[in-house]
Amino acid sequence: MLLEKDYRQLTEKGISEEYLQWQLSIFERGVEFIKLSKPAVVGDGIIRFSEDVLNRFILVYETAEKVSKTKFVPASGAASRMFKDLFEYLDNPNKSKTPEAFILRFIENIDKFAFSGELQEVLRRTGHPGIDELIRQGDFEPIIRLLLVQEGLGYGNLPKGLLKFHSYPDGNRTPFEEHLSEAARYANTPGQPVNLHFTVSPEHMEGFERLMSKVVPVFEKKFGVTYAISFSIQKPSTDTLAVDIKNQPFRNSDGTMLFRPGGHGALIDNLNALEAEIIFVKNIDNVVPEKYVEPTVRYKKALAGKLLEMRRQVYEMLKELQDTSLTPERAKQIFNKLGDELCYRVQQTPDFKDMQGTKKILFKILNRPIRVCGVVKNLGEPGGGPFWAPNSHGDITLQIIESSQVDHENSAQAEIFRTATHFNPVDLVCCPYDFQGHKFDLNAYVDKSTCFISQKSKDGKELKALELPGLWNGAMADWLTVFVEVPVETFNPVKTVNDLLRKEHQ
C-alpha cells in the first residue's frame, strides 16, 4: 500500500501510479524468457556486402539530398569497471585477489597509455618519484592510486568519454573528441552543422561542456565544419522501483521508496526526443585513432545507404497501400517482400480476398521505425546476438537478444544461443520518421516484456531491481530491422584499461 509521502515522491520524479503498479506486477509474476527460433546467419538474416554493393550504398548515402542527420552516443556510464583490477590491487596490496599478469602488463606498458604524461606530472606535483623510478623500486601503488583517485587524475570516477584514450603528436584525445572526428567524416552535410547528441550523467555534464568548449573550435578548423552538440541526462521519470524479497517497495532509511536508474533502455526517451531522419547510434568507447578509422567511415555510410534504400521501398509500399486500385496480386508481392527483403515473417497469411483487411495488416507492419544494424563475427566478446525470434505479436522477426533474455536451462534454447555466429556491437543507423514526414513515438515500439530483474543489495539488505528493455534489443523490438555484417576492425571497445594497449588503440 502506498503512503501519502509516496505519492509526493512519485510526483517529484514524474512517475505515474500506473507505471509504478506495472513495475510491481513485473516483480510479482516474474519475467518470461524469449523463445529463440534460430540464429541469424549470413544468407538467412544477415547481409554480407560485396565490394560493389558496399560502394553502391556509400554512393546512395553520399548523394542523398536534404536528409537530416545526427549521431547519438550513450556516454553516461562511469569508467570504474575499466579499472576493476587496479582497484582490487589497491584494496589488496599483496595481490592475492588480482591476477599479477594484468597489473604487470599495465605497469610495464605504462608509457604507451595516452594519460601517462599527465600521470607523470601528478606524481611530480605530489612529491613522488617519477614513474620509471617507482617501477624500479617495485612500488606500483602511487602510480595506480594517483591515476584513479580524485587528488590525482580521478579516472576511477570519470566517465569513459572524458578519459585520454589515444596519443597524437598535437595532443592526446578522449573518446568524446574521437566521436567529433568520426562524425565530421560521415554525419556531415555540406552547408549544415554536424549534429551530435551525448547522453551523460548530471554530475559529469560540466566536464563534458568544459571539454567541448576547448576542443570544438580545433576540430571545426581541422575539418572545415561547424558542430551542433547537445546533451541530455536519463530522465528521473524512467527510474525503476526496487523491491524487497516480498516484492514490496524497498525503503531507504528515511522511509522513502528506493528508485534506481532503469538501465540503458531508459535512453529510448532521449532518442525519442531527437529530430533527425537518420540517427547513427554508437557507444562512447568504440573509437579508434584517425589512422584506423577509414573502415568505420565506409561502413557507416554504407549502412546509412542501405537504410535509405530500405526506407524508399517501405515508403513506396505504404503509399501503394493507400491506393484504392491496389490489386490482390500486388498485395501478395508486398506480403512476400516483408519476409524476403524486410525480414518480417508474418505467421498468419492475410486473406487476400479481403483487400481492406489485408491492406490494414500490411500497413500496420510496414509503418514503423526502421533500423539497419551492423553485426560482427562472434570472437568471444560479450554482447547481444542477432536472432530470429517472435515479437510481441507472434510474428518472426530479427531481434538483438541478450544472454539474460534466454533460458539457458533449456538445452534447445541454449544451443541456439551458442550457435550464433555474430553479435551486435551497438552499431546502428535508424530512421524514426514515417512516410508522411511525421516522427514516430518510439515508446510505442518497445516490447515491455523484455525487461529483466537483477539481484542487488543496499545497507546490507537484499533487494530486487528492474532493468528496462535494453535500448537496442527490447526497446527497439518492434522496429523493422535488417542486419548487415561489418568488419571486426570497426569494433574496438575498451572494457578494461589494458584494452588500450591493443594495436587498434595505439
Per-residue pLDDT of the chain (506 residues), as tens digits, is 788 898 899 999 999 999 999 999 999 988 889 999 999 999 999 999 999 999 999 999 999 988 999 999 999 877 888 999 999 888 876 755 556 889 999 999 999 999 999 999 999 999 999 999 999 988 899 999 999 999 999 999 999 999 999 999 989 999 999 999 999 999 998 889 999 999 999 999 999 999 999 999 999 999 999 999 999 998 888 899 999 999 999 999 899 999 988 888 889 999 999 999 999 999 999 999 999 999 999 999 999 999 999 999 999 999 999 988 899 999 999 999 999 999 999 988 988 889 999 999 999 999 999 999 999 998 776 667 999 999 888 899 999 998 888 999 999 999 999 999 998 878 999 999 999 999 999 999 999 888 888 888 888 889 999 988 889 889 999 999 999 999 999 999 999 999 999 999 99
CB 286 within 8 A of CB 504: no
φ, ψ of residue 202 to 5 degrees: the values are -55, -40
Q: b/e for 394-406, b at 16 or more Cβ within 10 A? A: ebbbbbbbbebbb
Q: Which residue has the cell 579499472?
A: 83
Query: Would you call 71 helix, strand, or coil by DSSP?
Result: strand
Nearest CA to 399 out of 415, 380, 375, 419 is that of 375
Residue type, 438: H
Buried b (16+ CB within 10 A) or exposed e, 81-104: ebbebbbbbbeeeeeeebeeebbe
Query: What is the Cα–Cα distance from 445 to 426, expressed in whole angstroms?
Result: 18
Q: Enumerate the CATH 3.90.550.10 domain ranges in the chain, comma separated.
A: 35-79+163-487
- Give residue for cell 584514450: 165
Residue 85 host element (H or E): helix 84-91
The candidate with the shortest Cα–Cα distance to 200, out of 171, 167, 181, 175, is 175
* Domain 35-79+163-487 CATH assignment equals 3.90.550.10: yes
Q: Which residues lie across from 229 on neighbouring strands?
A: 196
Please say whether the beta carbons of 262 and 23 come within 8 A.
no
Beta strands 396-401 and 344-345: pairing type? antiparallel
